[in-house]
Amino acid sequence: MIYSVVGHYSLILGLCVGLILIFFSIQNFRNSNQLDTKILSFSFLQLFFVLISFLALIISFVISDFSNETVFNNSHTTKPLFYKISGTWGNHEGSLLLWLLVLTLFIFIFLLRTKSQPIKYKILTLTFQQVIIIGFFLFLIQTSNPFNYLFPVPGEGLGLNPILQDPALAIHPPILYLGYVGSSIIFSSALAATTLKMVSTSWAIHIKKWVLISWIFLTLGILLGSIWAYYELGWGGFWFWDPVENVSLMPWLALTTLLHCILVLERKEILTSWVIILSIATFTLSMCGTFLVRSGILNSVHTFANDPERGLFILIFLFALIFLSLFIFFFFHQTSKNNSSNFFWLSKETSVLVNNWFMMYFLSVVLIGTVYPIFLDVISSQKISVGPPFYHKLIAPFLIPFLFAMAIGPRLKWIKSDLKDKIYLISLLIISILISFFIVKNFNTNILINTILISSALYLFLITSRDFFKKKYKNFAQNTAHFGFSLLILSILFNNLFSSEIITNLKVGETYDNSKTKIVFESINQKKEKNYKSIIANFNITNSEGINNNLSPELRIYNQPNITTSEADIKTTLMKDKFIVINLVQNQDYFNVRYQVKPFMLWIWLSVIMISLGGLVSFLQKRL
């Protein structure tokens, strides 16, 4: 109980410090010869209070203090220590406290690392950031307090949802939040720079590192979530256009577009409006994701419990931030004399602008597909779900010119360019089309669209591969990220083309056999762990080439809460995954068996790591 009291009052003190910081910021802004040392001291104090609060919640989980409502709802004495700790942020209240911790940490680092920036700019960025931080403090204390007291004290907790008891998901939220919260610094910084009319090349160089670090963490966070969903939920794929997957993808698309605009702005004072709008949009989309997940509006395995009060609070807060940012943009932003109409049609600036158009189109498709069912439900009480076919039909045709633009754009020069002496561009295009045609021709599929799709991805792959050998360390970060992206698209396309699936019902001792695959259900074993019982099915699978594999998927029956989960068994090789999952057929002795062969899965994960590596190299480049 003592830890809950310490945690609760630490939150209140952190809120008070936020209000004091606003007061000192206004005072310092009027007399801005130098940054008031009290501001840095109070920023550290605020971080300290939030950290104490977060540690108090962790200790409450570790010692199973069920007088704390959050611990009671999300923990159990038989839960392993690792999942007791990760359970701290595996719930609504704890995850928001983690978000608040990262918010206060980032603004403290920002103040420490921006000594060369104008004082007024630093103070104004801090003020905007404190508005966000105070909003989160109020949200936590009023609607989502992680330190609510229970009396009488229960003897046992309800336990954490078993599908959340996983190492990948334990580190997925903190990394994802580093990406989300990084966008808040970009947002506050952009508003401050717009207000002071200092959106310039020097500001772009300064803010670029925050864009990069946010983008890297967001990319890795999405990757970890995708890997978890692949093996834990038994979906057997890397992306399912689940609404909560989409709300993490939307800020990533906006942030990627912003990163390319910043690269232009740090060389020329153009695209300033784009940069400000994208800075606002990235954080707004992060907040929209928070609203959709926390309000219970979305129906997804990722969402938290339905609570309209929480949703209403975030919605009002979100509208206030949007109104503030739009007011500042329209009243303070001055358009640069160099505008996009002065671009030469064949230049790197134009290629970035084209990139923006495509990325905004992809973002619009994902936004409409995610939000449209919600509006339809509100207006007509009609429930629909927007699935993969919607996204594939709208995104795939535009992905082709986008990939070609990605291949050619980086080859262009700033201001004005030409394509003379670029014979290799045409040569590699012809090679890409021929290779793609021969690959697709062997399969019963749409030859035209798949040939064009694969050839566009292969074209980008070949050009970026050539750059590695030809230009060596020139534009190494860009080449690494683009090469990773081309590898990602190729892996996704090959995965889609070459995947196979068998779904059947089998008893122990039975065999499924077709012309390509033989599945023998050999036996069942049982195992007892600390917090669950396990039924392990043993399968022997033989393919048409005579290669044998033994796979052992599980059914786990957890004691608290009493939930049964399916654990897939996956055999991963360099070229493909063999994936099997089982489920009980109700009131029968049969097991539903789902066996999939998923090519290039490993390359999907590796390509995203390579994309992140490109961002990391860019972040470290000037330091090294």
The per-residue pLDDT for range 125-155, each reduced to its tens digit, is 999 999 999 999 999 998 889 999 888 888 8
Whole-angstrom distance, CA of residue 566 vs CA of residue 285: 33
Radius of gyration of the chain, Cα coordinates, nearest whole angstrom:
26
Q: What percent of the chain has a predicted confidence (pLDDT) above 70?
A: 92
Q: How confident is the model at residue 420 (pLDDT cuts 50, 70, 90)?
A: low
Q: Is the pLDDT of residue 339 over 60?
A: no
The per-residue pLDDT of the chain, averaged, comes to 86
SS3 content of the chain, % helix, strand, coil (to 5): 65, 10, 25
pLDDT of residue 622: 60
Give burial (CB, 10 Å; 0-12/13-18/19+) of 427: exposed
Q: Tens digit of pLDDT for each residue in 442-459?
A: 776 677 788 888 999 999
Given a cut of 60, whether residue 338 has pLDDT beyond it is no
pLDDT at residue 340 greater than cutoff 50: no
Residue-wise pLDDT for 152-186, tens only, equals 888 888 877 777 777 887 888 889 889 988 899 99
Q: What's this model's pTM, rounded to 2 decimal places?
A: 0.91
Bridge partners for 537 per DSSP = 524
Whether the per-residue pLDDT at 296 is higher than 70: the answer is: no
C-alpha to C-alpha distance for 53 and 9, rounded to whole angstroms: 8
Q: What is the pLDDT of residue 419?
A: 65
Lowest mean pLDDT of 100-114, 133-147, 473-487, name the range.
473-487
pLDDT digits (tens, 9 = 90+) for 65-78: 889 999 998 888 88
Whether residue 610 is predicted with pLDDT greater than 50 in this model: the reply is yes
Buried b (16+ CB within 10 A) or exposed e, 489-518: bbbbbbbbbbbeebeeebeeeeebeeeebe
pLDDT confidence of residue 308:
66
Average pLDDT on 515-534 reads 87
> 533-575: per-residue pLDDT in tens?
899 999 999 987 778 889 999 998 887 777 888 888 999 999 8
Task: Indicate left, alpha or beta for 426 from its phi (over 0: left) and psi (-120 to 50: alpha).
Answer: alpha
Determine the pLDDT at residue 11.
95
Nearest to 133 by CA among 47, 205, 25: 47
pLDDT for residue 193 is more than 90:
yes
Q: What is residue 588's predicted lDDT score, i.e. its pLDDT?
A: 75
Is residue 532 pLDDT above 90, yes or no?
no
Find, among 112, 163, 140, the residue nearest to 54 by Cα.
140
Mean of pLDDT values over 227-253: 84
* Mean pLDDT, residues 43-55 taken together: 96
Over pLDDT 90: what percentage of the chain?
42
Query: Averaged over 223-248, what is the pLDDT?
Result: 83
Looking at residue 428, its pLDDT comes to: 87
Measure Cα distances from 451 to 390, 468, 493, 603 in Å. Answer: 21, 25, 10, 20
Query: For residue 294, what pLDDT is reported?
Result: 62
For 386-414, what is each residue's pLDDT tens digit? 888 899 899 999 999 999 999 888 877 77
pLDDT at 243: 83
Instruction: Between 568 and 309, name the one with better pLDDT.
Output: 568
Tokens 């952009």, residue located: 190
* Per-residue model confidence (pLDDT) at position 624: 45
Residue pLDDT, tens place only, 110-126: 999 887 888 899 999 99
